[in-house]
Amino acid sequence: MPQFTTVKDVVAVMPKYFLPEAAAGMNATLQLDLTDEGGGVWHLIVADGQLTVNEGPAANPNMTLKMTAADYLAMINGEASAMQMFMKGKVKVGGDMSLAMKLQNLFKMQ
């Protein structure tokens, strides 16, 4: 797994690292709201064992993950624990918290 330097690089390869078996029975829209330099908004549609990634906000996401782009990259690159960042208030989750817990298992990023 490569080390990522930009969020756009991560988003571009998400479909490649998506694990359809981990998404069995899931039908949800997950939004990434990444702030500060290099950030942006993307939404992931997981349905029927498939992933679609779109730039921009979703009309009605089931879950929104909000954090800085730098913290997101640290998490993706294995330099920071998502749970520890959540406990420190660096990660905000809106909507269905159980989807946030499943999110990291949907990808073979490490």
Order of strands, sheet of 92-95, starting from the edge strand that comes earlier in the sequence: 50-55, 40-47, 27-35, 63-68, 92-95
Instruction: Note the pLDDT of residue 108.
Output: 85
**pTM, entire model:** 0.91
**Tens of each residue's pLDDT in the chain, 110 residues:** 578 999 999 999 999 999 999 999 999 999 999 999 999 999 999 998 999 999 999 999 999 999 999 999 999 999 999 889 999 999 999 999 999 889 888 998 65
Instruction: Note the pLDDT of residue 98.
Output: 92
Instruction: Note the pLDDT of residue 103.
Output: 87
Architecture of domain 7-95: 2-Layer Sandwich (3.30)
Domain range summary for the chain, segments of one domain joined by +:
7-95
Kindly state the tokens that stand for 4. 């990522």
